[in-house]
Amino acid sequence: MSGRKLLMSFPVTPTSHLLAEVRARGGYQTLQRVLTSMTPEQVTKEVTAAGILGHGGAAFPVGRKWSVIHLNDSQPHYLCANADEGEPGTFKDRWILENSPHQLVESMLIAAYALQVRNAFVYIRGEFDLPYRRLQGAVDEAYEAGLLGEKILGTDFSCDLVVYRGAGSYVCGEASALITSIEGKKGYPRNRPPRLTVRGLYQRPTVINNVETLSNIEIIVRMGAEEFRKVGVAKSPGTQLVSISGHVAKPGVYELEYGTPLAKFIYEDCGGVLGGKKLKCIIPGGISTKVLTDADIATVTYDHKAMEAVGSQVGSGGMVVIAEGTCMVRLLQVMLRFYHHESCGQCTPCREGMGWLHRIIDGIVAGRGRPEDIDAMVRISEANDGTTICGMGDAAGFATVGIIAKYRDEFEYYIANGRSKCGGRLEVDVAEQEAAHA
Amino acid sequence: MNTIVSMHHLLPEFEKMKRRYPAGFESSLTLPCLRRIQQERGYVAEEDIDLVVEYLGVPRIQVEEVLSFYTQYRRKPVGRWHLQACRNVSCSMRGAERMIDHLAKRLGIQPGQTTADGCFTLDHVECLGSCGTAPVVIVNETYHENMTVERLDALLGELK
């Protein structure tokens, strides 16, 4: 296995998510210690010193986000966990919500104490069924046990937690759209400044962190920043939950210590490519991150700096393995259909740009492609970059430019011949696949 | 036309929900109230918008926007079994396109349609966070993962 485990540190059983078992494993002891022996400032100091980066995709330093909150500004502060997991290829937060929901609840309580939050929220995507039931079950258990609500564990600290269900919108995973959605409105992202830590939910200072990021808070406080930093590498402390899917022999969620060789992870831990096929490329961290070829990943380690050095990102940890023989034109078509569908329509470059990109690639796949289409797609993508309120326009552009840069020949072939160089395949051998499912 | 059932009986539930929110967060209840109504009725009717507007004191346009913005809200009834098949990257790479074609053929409808007997509605959707257990089909609210043609047929046999 690849490195030390922080979140996946216990055997999962049908009852391991329930409060009784969590407490038998030492759950909520860190909260008890925090509430009785630490000041809010000390908690934030520890989290900052741990150097943890956001695990939702943007890798923003958590301590820096938290430090914007002024504890004595005599106004309410809010905390939101972003459980709107919807970046294609990403299903890691679902593992926490289903298997370790109390880890999130306890960590959120510690964070709420540090940030002096009375009302916290988990924004969970509307389609999630079991993850919602598991989380709501954990919240109900916590209320019952006096771990949520008034005077938690007999201290002066009180905090309420609402699990807020989305209703089907990719863009609501963007922090400002998320809080607009919690306000009961259509999920339009907001312009910054002001930052959400200055004016967020109902215009009050609000911290929004990813589920996995928050779930690490209890671990950081329990271990202490110094010990936590011994896991991972200097610029990327800790671990990442990687969800791996696509043409991979053993798909699933794995906890990977930062600094692990990526090729070792894919070929040893995950069993390599389905059916023993050769690897064409991977999408490393959600479909918005740039693809990496077999050669790119041969020597790279899995951490933020190293992934950036080969031209991509850790992103959301949503890794997709793509076997040789897969048609990259059709794959990009699937992605662009998705982005077009999910563009909220607020900003012109994204609303129109996604439509243009989608229509152009549909034309190519239908055999109506023109040689100038390839450059047009790159031009539209680049024109989107930095011109929209949220990062979705940029993200679609990265994906498009990344695939065209590495597989331009497949686009040229498709346009010249009116058909795919790879037979239009998205699946590997069907028989092998059915066997893998059996 | 005037026989539509009122959803006023849900108001006590809404009141209970409200208690976990801070004061002044009434607007936040828009999404959860609509969700609960849809669970009950199967879709959100004109009368339900009236109810939410009146109960929460939010502008009518806000409720209309929410209903049209989020894909999960429906303004019309669907079949008894609502099948939603993912066709995003990881599901497509694991056979989603074949699954959707198979469903369409077996049910005799295209995505977006309901069978004449009102039993099935078929829709395709984007990433459901089930990439590691792809392909996935949601039936009403339940995920059915690692689907194959055989498993789809078995599932359809159970849904009547």
What domains are defined for chain A?
A: 19-230 (3.40.50.11540), 233-323 (3.10.20.600), 328-417 (1.20.1440.230)
Least confident of A1-15, A80-94, A248-262, B25-39: A1-15
Rounded to the nearest angstrom, the minimum Cα separation between B156 and chain A is: 19
Interchain contact B59–A (C-beta under 8 A): no
Structure tokens that stand for A402 in this block = 């990344």
**3-state DSSP assignment of residue A149:** strand
pLDDT, tens digit (0-9, with 9 covering 90-100), for B122-155: 999 999 999 999 999 999 999 999 999 999 999 9
Q: Tokens 């863009």, residue? A: A171
The answer to whether A79 and A53 are in contact (CB under 8 A) is no
CATH, range B81-158: 3.40.30.10
Q: Domain spans of chain B?
A: 8-69, 81-158
Q: Which residue from B minimizes the CA distance to A150?
A: B20
Reply yes or no on whether the pLDDT at A434 is more than 60.
no
Stretch 12-51 of chain B: residues touching chain A, C-beta under 8 Å:
20-22, 24-25, 27-32, 34-35
pLDDT digits (tens, 9 = 90+) for B75-94: 999 999 999 999 999 999 99
Q: Is the confidence at residue B2, as pLDDT, over 70?
A: no
Q: Which residues of B touch A79 (CB under 8 A)?
A: none
**Residue whose token pair is 């039936």:** B139
The distance of B66 to chain A (nearest Cα, Å) reads 5
Report the distance separating Cα A8 and Cα A17, nearest Å: 12
Please give the Cα distance from B131 to A431 (Å, whole number).
19
Q: Which of A188, A202, A245 to mutate to test the interface with B (most CBs of B within 10 A)?
A: A245
Buried b (16+ CB within 10 A) or exposed e, A135-171: bbebbebbeeeebbeeebeeeebebbbbbbbbbbbbb
With bands split at pLDDT 50, 70 and 90, how would you rate the model's confidence at A437?
Answer: low
pLDDT band at B121 (very low <50, low <70, confident <90, very high): very high
Closest in B25, B93, B127 to A86, CB measured: B127
For A120-132, what is the mean pLDDT? Answer: 98
Same fold, B8-69 and B81-158: no
How far is A208 from A58, CA to CA, in rounded Å? 12
Q: Report chain B residues whose CB lies below 8 A from the CB of A130.
A: 143
The residue assigned the tokens 């209703």 is A167
Taking contacts as CB-CB distances below 8 angstroms, the residues of chain A near B32 are 164-165
Which carries the bigger pLDDT value, residue B5 or residue A102?
A102
Give the residue with greater pLDDT, B5 vs A222: A222
Chain B environment of A125 (Cβ under 8 Å) = 129
Q: Tell me, what's the pLDDT at B4?
A: 85
Task: Single out the residue of A339, A228, A270, A372 nearest to residue A2, CA to CA.
Answer: A270
Give chain B positions within 8 Å (CB) of A438.
148
Q: Do B28 and A326 touch (CB under 8 A)?
A: no
Q: Are A99 and A87 in contact (CB under 8 A)?
A: no
Q: What residue type is B102 in one-letter code? A: H
CA–CA gap between residue A176 and residue A121 (Å, rounded): 14
Which residues contact residue B6 at a Cβ distance below 8 angstroms, ignoring those fewer than 6 apart?
B47, B51
Q: For residue A433, what pLDDT band results from cuts at 50, 70 and 90?
A: low
Which chain A residues are closer than 8 Å to B64 by Cβ? none
Question: Average model confidence (pLDDT) for chain A?
Answer: 96
Point out the residue among B132, B146, B148 whose CB comes nearest to the CB of A244: B132
Ordered alpha helix ranges (H), A12-115: 19-24, 29-37, 40-50, 62-66, 92-99, 101-115
Amino acid identity at B40: E
- The C-alpha of B108 sits at a distance from chain A's nearest C-alpha, in angstroms, of 24
Please answer yes or no on whether B130 and A91 come within 8 Å at the CB atom.
yes
Whether pLDDT at A148 is above 90: yes
CA gap B43, B39 in Å, rounded:
7
| The two three-digit tokens of residue A254, written as one number | 């794995």
Task: Please tell me whether the peptide bond between A194 and the residue prior to it is cis, using omega within 30 degrees of 0.
Answer: yes
Q: Which two tokens stand for residue B145?
A: 């993962």
CA distances from B149 to A210, A426, B92 (A): 36, 17, 14
What sign has the CA pseudo-torsion A307, A311, A317, A323?
negative
> What residues contact B136, with CB distance under 8 A and at least 6 apart?
B85, B86, B91, B128, B130, B143, B144, B145, B147
The share of chain A scoring above pLDDT 70, in percent, equals 98
Query: How far is it, in rounded angstroms, from Cα A213 to Cα A206?
Result: 16
Strand partners, B121: B82, B114
Q: Quick one: pLDDT at residue B3? A: 74
Asked if A120 contacts A112 with a C-beta cutoff of 8 angstroms, the reply is: yes
Chain A residue with minimum CA distance to B66: A186
Mean pLDDT of A85-110: 97
> How many residue pairs from chains A and B have C-beta atoms closer than 8 A?
158
Chain B residues in contact with A341 by the CB 8 A cut-off are 126
Query: Is ipTM > 0.95 here?
Result: yes
Kindly report the pTM of this predicted structure: 0.97
Q: Residue A159 carries which side chain, given as an amino acid letter?
A: C
Tell whether B130 is within 8 A of chain A (Cβ).
yes
Q: Class of B8-69 per CATH?
A: mainly alpha
Q: Could you tell me the pLDDT band of residue A2, with boundaries at 50, 70 and 90?
A: confident
